[in-house]
A and B are shown apart, each in its own frame.
Chain A
Amino acid sequence: MKSDFQGFLDNNHRIIAKVCRIYTDSTDDFNDYYQECIVQLWRSFDSFRGASKLSTWTYRVCLNVCLSQLRSKKRTVPTENREIPDVVDEDSALQEEQIQHLYKAIKLLRESDRAIILLYLEEKSYKEMAEILGITVTNVGAKVNRVKAQLKKIIDERFGH
């Protein structure tokens, strides 16, 4: 393995996991997507020229991988009927439930909107979001507001928070 790749993964594995988690419904799919992200990141790692932040680049690769993986796989059971896997070691059952609800709500959004809400929740600036998503900053602002409202509506309607 490239010497510094493991170090890069140690610092950025959460990004990969979060992106994969919002696009998958089962542990098998999660593992497949995670592996695909790792392989693509590894392949492109040497050619990363530092034009953007490493985390920006990681988000971009992982989101692109997951979006293309989603399209190449056949649709299965709708997300809302499936349980979120692998939520582990939460101190609070309530917090665990809230996280599960949040993930479920995010998965009810359109695929491209999930990327927007993920980046919003990760507190990325509009500029960085625009860079990751390949859209204009103005467009990001409009989309964030729309997707946030949609997410709130889903949470209120389905989970009554």
Chain B
Amino acid sequence: MKDLDIKDIWKGADSMDADAYAKPEIDKMIQSGSHSLIHKFVRTLVWEQWINLLVLTSLVVELFWAGEWIIGTGSLVVNVAFYVYYQKLKTNLRNEEIDTHVLAYLYRVQDIIRQFIRHYKIAAIVLGVLAMIAIYYLNEHNFYEERMDNESVMYGLILGVMAALPMTFYLIHLLYGKKAIKLKAMIRSLEAEESE
């Protein structure tokens, strides 16, 4: 088959796509949004952001209600910091556009996601330690209706926080790690094809 033949046949293929989608159909597509891996990542971030906001705000209210101003203020600062961080992260991911080279785009997204997971792990460890200090502090300041005379209860709580750490790491894997692994596989696959 000659070059010209192939091009002639290809020109005939134009008739397959004669009409564009109508405006309502396009509107529907835009409204239903992206189904890409990156979009799924952002959607998970949105859910987690709201859950964090709800839980941490309840905690702040409870602490202020009990007159624990120092810990309450600390929790409020963490709450606001989390909210701002997630907002910034979502904006960064949404601002990444796929109109450059596909690998360059995926590298940029991967950098953002890797940094987020690293920050998440650091935050889990730091907050875990702070939570243990807070339990000790609150016990010392009679936050619980009666001071826990039996120290084993307090140490039990501290151990609970320590046990929560590996669970948090597993949660990070479920929520974000799996998507990051999938993204890495996508990048490797594209790299492999480019290098052939």
Contact = CB atoms under 8 A, between A and B. Distances in A.
Interface in B1-60: 1, 3, 5-7, 9-10, 12-21, 23, 26-27, 29-30, 32-37
Given A9-B26, A72-B186, A86 B194 contact: no
A4 to B, nearest CB: 13
A98 interface: yes
A99 B7 CA distance: 10
Given A6-B26, A121-B10, A72 B36 contact: yes
A76 B13 CA distance: 25
Contacts of A110: 193, 196
A90 B12 contact: yes
B92 to A, nearest CB: 14
Interface residues of B, number: 46
A61 B99 contact: yes
A155 B30 contact: no
Interface string A102-122: 110000001110000000011
A83 B48 CA distance: 42
Contacts of A95: 9, 12
Contact of A134 (B19, B32, B101, B185): B101
A11 to B, nearest CB: 9
Interface in B49-106: 94, 97-102, 104-106
A44 B185 contact: no
A10 interface: yes
Interface string B136-152: 00000000000000000
A89 interface: yes
B32 A61 contact: no
Contact of A112 (B10, B13, B36, B194): B194
Nearest to A11: B20
Contacts of A161: 1, 5
B134 interface: no
A72 B37 contact: yes
Nearest to B19: A13
B100 A134 contact: yes
A124 to B, nearest CB: 12
Contacts of B12: 90, 95, 98-99
Interface of A: 1, 5-6, 9-10, 13-14, 17-18, 21, 32, 34-36, 38-40, 42-44, 47-48, 57, 60-61, 63-65, 67-69, 71-72, 86-90, 95, 98-99, 102-103, 110-112, 121-123, 134, 148, 151-152, 155-156, 161
